[in-house]
Chain A
Amino acid sequence: MRRKITFAVLAVCFLSLAACSDDNNDSSTSEPASVKKTEAVNYQDKVNQDVKSFRAFYSNKFPNVELTEFKDGVYAIDQATREQWLEIEEFPPYELSIDEGQEFFEAPFANGKSYRDCFKNVDQGIRQNYPFFDSASQQVVTLELAINQCRENNAEPALEYGMGELAAISAYIANLSREKVFDIKVPTKEAYTAYMSGKQFFYSKRGQLNFSCADCHLKIAGSNLRADVLSPAIGHPTGMPVYRSNWGELGTIGHRYRECNKNVRSEPLAYQSEAYRNLEFYQTIMSNGLAVNGPSSRK
């Protein structure tokens, strides 16, 4: 009994402590000031400003790397591993997945329709248009989500996110979109809210190791974390899906997000959770102007 009381007392103490620390810091802005503005706000302008300063950070950090080269991920900044990567890219293992993806893509659904009915312009390249903010459903739609929406609209069961068939289809679509340039827009207040939520995720420390995406992939990008050179966050989404030698398989950006979260000992969120979709939205916007080079191979 005594123990239980101690717990309760401890809990109260702890809470009051937390409350104290909150009070101390309440002077800082607790939410983005921009959200409060009226309709006259041009959200795209705000985003463009963000993109500009985000890039400037990397340009200052890596003055010898052209902006468009960041699509190669860590290999844009690490010459030592670039050579090995180029050798693997000569005949990358994901080429088998592209072929598989094509087979899946072209196979008709039970109702006689196919993916092509959902993705009419696939041959012209569509990867660069994802993710986008869908004004009808008021949410960010990623390519992977769209693939499963297409299936559901055609009475097919959804595919598992992460690896396998869905990743292969995504790879096939990305491969047809190579060299197309990302230019994701933030047209509305709602889109901006999703964007800001992704941005908040990017800068929020989490997990037992207390790291944010930005801690590793912005602030100390290019440094070594144990034996790995940390990749710059600009150019992360362009090469998706990715065949990682560590996985020995092709996986989606969601799979990588989950792995990254696990690396900082944070419980990964669900595939295609709103938080991850918003993060992908934010990250892709930060990579606007870069070309699609997915699927890609990474260590």
Chain B
Amino acid sequence: MNLSRRKFFINFGKGAGYLALVASLPQMAWAKWNQKAFTATNLDAAIKAKYGELPIVDSKEVNLKAPAIAENGAVVPVKVKSSLADVKSISLFVKDNPSPLTTTLNLGKNSLADIQIRIRMGKTSEVIAIVESGGKLHRASQQVKVTIGGCGG
């Protein structure tokens, strides 16, 4: 973990040095933030870092709702619902973001697979929701267009 963290900062060059200091501050006991997955720079690496070799299937039981055209790439409302049983986690990836993994939402056994979040998108991209359930990854994706603003209307 420490190694990969260091590597990441080296990759990001100077100026990030003191960030390493910040990042190495003592974390809360329950923290399990997946450094490697969040800093991966392409989709496949991010999914692999997050979920290892779990098989991925496209699923109609994952309902991803995102706008076809984002009003503002800085705030894109996304909803994910699933009828799958025993959902452990829901992750959202933006394929063409510098770091594709935006969030992983881990659920408990009394939770419902019904989440909403607002994410950032640097440019037009595919948005992928991955629902972890029954030892498999269930995927849904949608293209979200991000336009370059004029004056904010």
The DSSP consensus for interface residues of chain B is loop
New A-B pairs, 8, CB < 8 Å, besides A84-B67, A227-B148, A245-B72: A80-B69, A81-B71, A216-B151, A224-B150, A229-B153, A244-B152, A263-B151, A299-B72
Q: Which residue of B lies closest to A85 (CB)?
A: B71
Interface residues of A in 178-237 (CB under 8 A from B): 216, 224-231
Encoded as 1 (CB less than 8 Å from any A CB) or 0, chain B from 142 to 153 comes to: 000001111111
Contact in complex: B153, A298 (CB < 8 Å):
yes
Name the residue of chain B whose CB is nearest to the CB of A82.
B71
A299 to B74, CA, bound (A): 9
Residues of B within 8 A of A (CB): 67, 69-72, 74-77, 116, 118, 147-153
Which residues of the other chain, A, contact B69 by a CB distance below 8 angstroms? 80
Q: Which of B72, B147, B148 has the most CB of A within 10 A?
A: B72
Residue in A74, A227, A230, A248 whose beta carbon sits within 8 Å of that of B149 in the complex = A227
Binary CB contact string for chain A from 79 to 116 against chain B (1 if under 8 A, 0 otherwise): 01101110110000000000000000000000000000
Contacts of A225 in B (CB 8 A): 150-151, 153
Residue positions of A touching B, CB distance < 8 A: 73-74, 80-81, 83-85, 87-88, 216, 224-231, 244-246, 248, 259-260, 263, 298-299
Interface Cβ pair total, 8 Å cutoff: 59
Q: Give the docked Cα–Cα distance between A85 and B75 (Å).
A: 10
B118 — which chain A residues lie within 8 A by C-beta?
Answer: 88
What are 5 A-B interface contacts by the 8 Å CB criterion?
A74-B153, A83-B67, A87-B116, A227-B148, A246-B74
Contact partners of A83 in chain B: CB under 8 A: 67
Residues of B close to A229: CB separation below 8 A: 153
The complex places the Cα of A248 from the Cα of B74 at a distance, in Å, of: 9
How far, in whole Å, are A229 and B69 apart by their CA atoms in the complex? 13
Quick check: A226 and B150 within 8 Å, CB to CB?
A: yes
| Interface pair B74/A231, CB less than 8 Å apart | no
CA distance in complex: A85, B69 (Å)? 13
